[in-house]
């Protein structure tokens, strides 16, 4: 059994990690970390775990945890993992970080967009960007994995085949994305109150959202050059889900069959990426509670652009599910283990 410790287990992504790992036949949770609820029973924080989890919440002592676990998930705000990790810890345990601390390879870009000093830049180069469908072989056996962001996972996977194959001009990309409110975390914030969010939709982080450089960096690797995109996120009144609609200029005329063949080339054998039938648009309700990503595209012959669409559950494939997928790869387990639940509806 893989012994698992979770730092930040009482956030939305942390709780989703607990839910998924409780159903994983090769994993055992040995540490429910939560700075806010130390010594409180986990089932008192999340009553859905009543008579399922009897453990009490512990602190975020990564030094102690490293001696008890085989892998540590850090589902914490930016900066915490980087402030705790060191060589002694990494010599004992694998770390899968759900924050952005090790996603961006240029420390100056990280510090500019996140507004904090990076506490352990010496590990940035070593960290593997944990987008499993693209970096699968690089993730296997590694000791430090940077779990991608939710918007970025949906944006990159939706666009990757077209960028990789040079179908579109990568500097023409516009990403319009929507997220459910759980993407903002569990902390109490006035803009996320029911009365503030319900019956409304709003753009936020316009031209400044922190996932922008992450998308640019990863798609830049795909096409072999630095790129610049427009990314605008929106908050919608639902619990879960990411919907991305992205636009790119086609470099020449393509038929539907030609572009479909490109998507099939990359995703036909991917367990968790579903390329939908022609003219079927992805919807968040059909991926909810699952590790699936639904993608599709539509050619706009009038404007010579392609419209790409993607949908995922921000707490599963956009966070905890992808983290478990990374754990499976690190330890040589079947990649889909613990993640085979079909989407739930309604």
d(CA 309, CA 290): 18
d(CA 332, CA 346): 34
Residues 81, 150, 154, 223: which is the catalytic one? 150
Alpha-carbon Rg for the chain in angstroms: 20
Which residues lie below 8 Å from residue 87, measured CB to CB, with a gap of 6+? Answer: none
Residue 281 is among the residues annotated as catalytic for this protein: no
d(CA 193, CA 295): 31
d(CA 60, CA 77): 13
Task: Name the DSSP letter for residue 149.
Answer: P
**Apex 14 CA angle, 26 and 139, nearest 5:** 55
**Both tokens of residue 301?**
């012959």
Task: Name the DSSP letter for residue 99.
Answer: S
d(CA 209, CA 258): 33
Task: Name the DSSP letter for residue 49.
Answer: G
Which residues lie below 8 Å from residue 343, measured CB to CB, with a gap of 6+? Answer: 286, 287, 288, 289, 290, 292, 313
Residue matched to tokens 């790992």 = 21
Positions marked catalytic:
150
């Amino acid at each position: 059994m893989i012994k698992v410790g979770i730092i930040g287990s009482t956030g939305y992504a942390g709780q989703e990690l607990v839910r998924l790992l409780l159903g994983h036949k090769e994993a055992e949770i040995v540490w429910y970390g939560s700075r806010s609820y130390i010594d409180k029973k986990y089932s008192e924080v999340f009553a859905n775990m009543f008579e399922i989890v009897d453990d009490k919440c512990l602190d975020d002592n990564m030094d102690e945890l490293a001696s008890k676990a085989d892998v540590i998930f850090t589902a914490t705000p930016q900066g915490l993992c980087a402030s705790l990790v060191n060589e002694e810890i990494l010599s004992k345990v694998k770390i899968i970080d759900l924050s952005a601390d090790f996603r961006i390879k240029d420390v100056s870009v990280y510090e500019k967009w996140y507004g904090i000093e990076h506490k352990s830049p010496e590990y940035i180069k070593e960290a593997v960007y944990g987008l499993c469908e693209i970096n699968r072989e690089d993730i296997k056996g590694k000791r430090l994995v940077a779990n991608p962001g939710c918007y970025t996972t949906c944006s990159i996977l939706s666009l990757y085949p077209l960028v990789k194959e040079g179908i579109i001009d990568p500097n023409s990309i516009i990403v319009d994305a929507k997220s459910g409110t759980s993407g903002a975390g569990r902390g109490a914030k006035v803009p996320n109150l029911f009365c503030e969010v319900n019956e409304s939709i709003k753009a936020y982080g316009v031209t400044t959202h922190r996932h922008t450089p992450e998308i640019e960096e990863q798609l830049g690797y795909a096409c072999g050059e630095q790129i610049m995109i427009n990314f605008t996120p929106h908050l919608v009144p639902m619990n879960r889900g990411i919907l991305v609609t992205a636009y790119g200029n086609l470099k020449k005329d393509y038929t539907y069959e030609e572009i479909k063949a490109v998507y099939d080339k990359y995703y036909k054998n991917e367990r968790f990426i579903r390329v939908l039938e022609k003219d079927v648009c992805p919807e968040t309700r059909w991926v909810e509670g699952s590790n699936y990503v639904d993608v599709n595209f539509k050619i706009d012959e009038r404007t010579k652009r392609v419209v790409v669409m993607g949908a995922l559950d921000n707490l599963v494939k956009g966070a905890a599910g992808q983290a478990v997928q990374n754990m499976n790869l690190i330890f040589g387990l079947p990649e889909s283990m613990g993640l085979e639940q079909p989407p739930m509806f309604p």
